A = this chain, B = another copy of it.
Amino acid sequence: MKSWKTLDRRTILNHNKFLRVENHVLQLPDGRVIDDWAWIITPDYINVLAETKDGRFLIFRQYKHGVDGTSLAPVGGYLEPGEEPLAAARRELLEETGYEADEWLNLGSYVVDGNRGAGTAHLFLARRARPIAAPDADDLEEQELLFLSRDELEAALANGAFKVLAWTTAVVLSLQKLAD
């Protein structure tokens, strides 16, 4: 299948480090030109579902502006400029929970919006996690750390308690991996 040709791209909104928007003028293989294709540039991010040695899952109950309330959430955060996804995942796990983990499973990297970009989500399962420090998170959101059993995690997933797309994806991919 032939690629679309980008005839022009220019920044139409440069808001801050969390959002820039481009307009793309695109030519389709059949010759048609689309002159107002928005392209969203937001930072790539990681989510990590961390499991302790005794089979508890580190989950936050967290306020999020995007859900206008609270949601359950795995560890997550944006990549720093130039940072590798796994390094960001280790850093966020340590900052947010004070844990590190012995075993890291890559659950894949996914474009957030197949049409307009909006960054890439890198998902991980971390096993045999153990506390090595006090948490040192700089998140704006209030949050509370829970230690869910596998049954509690499965029930929360089934109940839609992970209200953000990437969080549900990280949890269900992890459960699939753990069932293998």
Residue of B with least CB distance to A13: B13
Residue of B with least CB distance to A165: B110
Residue A148 is within 8 A (CB to CB) of chain B in the complex: no
* With A36-B15, A116-B18: A111-B172 Cβ-Cβ less than 8 Å: no
Residue A23 is within 8 A (CB to CB) of chain B in the complex: yes
- What B residues does A118 contact at CB under 8 A? 40, 112-113, 118
* With A29-B142, A172-B173: A164-B65 Cβ-Cβ less than 8 Å: no
Total copies of this chain within the assembly: 2
- For the complex, what is the distance from the CA of A118 to the CA of B165, rounded to whole Å? 11
- For the complex, what is the distance from the CA of A34 to the CA of B139, rounded to whole Å? 13
Interface string of A151-178 (1 = CB under 8 A from B): 0000000001011111111001101100
User: Do A165 and B176 touch across chains, with their CB atoms under 8 A apart?
Assistant: no
Q: Give me 6 A-to-B residue pairs in the complex whose CB atoms sit less than 8 angstroms apart, sorted by A's number.
A: A1-B142, A19-B21, A32-B140, A42-B116, A112-B164, A113-B164
Q: How large is the interface on A (under 10, 10 to 19, 20 to 34, 35 or more residues)?
A: 35 or more
- What B residues does A113 contact at CB under 8 A? 42, 66, 112, 118, 164
With both chains docked as a complex, state the minimum distance between the C-beta of A159 and any C-beta of chain B, in angstroms.
9
Residue A63 is within 8 A (CB to CB) of chain B in the complex: yes
With both chains docked as a complex, state the minimum distance between the C-beta of A166 and any C-beta of chain B, in angstroms.
6
Residue of B with least CB distance to A68: B3
